[in-house]
Amino acid sequence: MTKRALVLGGGGVAGIAWETGVLAGLAAGGVDCRTADKILGTSAGATVAAQITSGLPMEELFRRQADPVLQNTELPSGVSVERLMAMFEGMYRRGPDLATVRREAGALALAAETVPEAVRWGVIASRLPRHEWPREADIELVVVDATTGDHEVFARGSGVDLVDAVAASCAVPGVWPPVTIGASRYMDGGVRSGVNADLVAGFERVLILAPMDDAQLAGQIDLLEESGRVEVITPDEESAAAMGADPLDPAVRTPSAEAGYAQGRALAGRMAVFWE
């Protein structure tokens, strides 16, 4: 039987809404991506991975993103995304070695003044319909150790609480606090790669949802294509406009979800051939 992986990349609250919309649109068109043998989530994708394996129908998950009445309360980031991106670009210019950049990002994360961990944990908990790891699906969530810069992948057997794992994967350096798990503190898995698709190498079919640009994605696709076929869905023109310039802005959830749903419905026919 063909082994399939679903890869969900990072992209803030806009990315959560858009990915949920795309997956709901695909499901409405007959393509249920939750049947993947593995679901890998990074940052926003970690939230979506936990949500779609919670047992709630895709239609309900979509409504929770599209209907303002049903949306959980999100904290304003209080950070200029332009300034944040410029800071990260400066790190890459100063040191092209990715390991060095990850450690520098970790130092930024550990030194930043943010809301308390417990406050941020509460927001993440409110996003998730279920706080236990799913037993019906294999999900893996990517995080980065803020001290060493090394990445880890948390799963059901890792001994890490699901909410902690999602919170860590979503802990954008300089915006949200690193998450304390055991003796370590962890930050956003997107510090390694916005998508981390190379971590599912060996699967025969890989569907990637990438809300934001990832300079490493092309090389990761080349690796994946050594053993299988790959499809990548990125925001189309309407979705990109709906998501706007600030992926951390909670106000864009409704338009992002709706645009993602329309895009998923439009792609369902082609994705059905690929996925099934």
Q: Which residues are catalytic?
A: 43, 188
d(CA 143, CA 245): 25
Best CA proximity match to 139, nearest among 207, 50, 27:
50
Number of helices and strands in the chain (H, E):
10, 8
HSE-CB at 132 with a 13 A cutoff on CA atoms is 4
Residue that is written with structure tokens 């079919």 in the block: 205
Please answer whether residues 174 and 108 qualify as being in contact, where contact means their C-beta atoms are separated by less than 8 angstroms.
Answer: yes
Best CA proximity match to 203, nearest among 219, 221, 177, 180:
221
Task: Identify each DSSP E strand in the chain by its residue range.
Answer: 4-8, 38-42, 139-145, 151-154, 179-181, 184-188, 205-209, 229-233
